[in-house]
Amino acid sequence: MNESHIAVNYIKALQDITLEKIIVLYLDEQDGVIFTTFHTWSTEGREIYPQQISSVAIKIKANKVVIIHDQPSGVIMPTKKDKQFATNILSSLRANGLTFKDYIINAGENSYYSMADNRSLTRES
């Protein structure tokens, strides 16, 4: 069974994807969501950086992180920018002893792409 269903089911309640944004889910050891943050994502740049994600995770004692990229355009395939962002997050989290569970591109209506499920993200289980 794919692990992305946990995050996808969680965000169904947040299904306003009229804006492109990044949702960060901070998880405990049992994959329970203990904290959520929302950040803008635009062509001009994003308001969140990998080290910020690691810092928050450490501060709230989260063990794992899932990134959800809401994509109002409906395009679910990761771009070069998505892949680079995911790689940077993975490096930052690993350097701090944390696990990066998944990077999910969500286009709504059960249309999503999970880097973990598609093995395009090297992750720790």
Q: For residue 12, tell me if it sits in a domain.
A: yes
The CATH number that applies at residue 56 is: 3.40.140.10
13: helix, strand or coil: helix
Please count the CA atoms within 13 angstroms of the CA of 116 that sit on its side-chain side.
Answer: 22
Q: For residue 122, tell me if it sits in a domain.
A: no
- Domain range for 85: 4-114
Q: For residue 124, tell me if it sits in a domain.
A: no
d(CA 17, CA 37): 15
Q: What is the mean pLDDT of residues 2-16?
A: 58
Q: What letter represents residue 114's amino acid?
A: S
| Domain total of the chain | 1
Q: What is the mean pLDDT of residues 64-73?
A: 89
Q: Give tens-digit pLDDT for 69-80.
A: 888 888 899 988
Q: For residue 119, tell me if it sits in a domain.
A: no
pLDDT category, 14, cuts 50, 70, 90?
low
What confidence score (pLDDT) does residue 12 get?
A: 55
Percent of the chain with pLDDT over 90: 44
Q: For residue 62, tell me if it sits in a domain.
A: yes
Backbone angles phi, psi at 62, to 5 degrees: -80, 150
Q: For residue 44, tell me if it sits in a domain.
A: yes
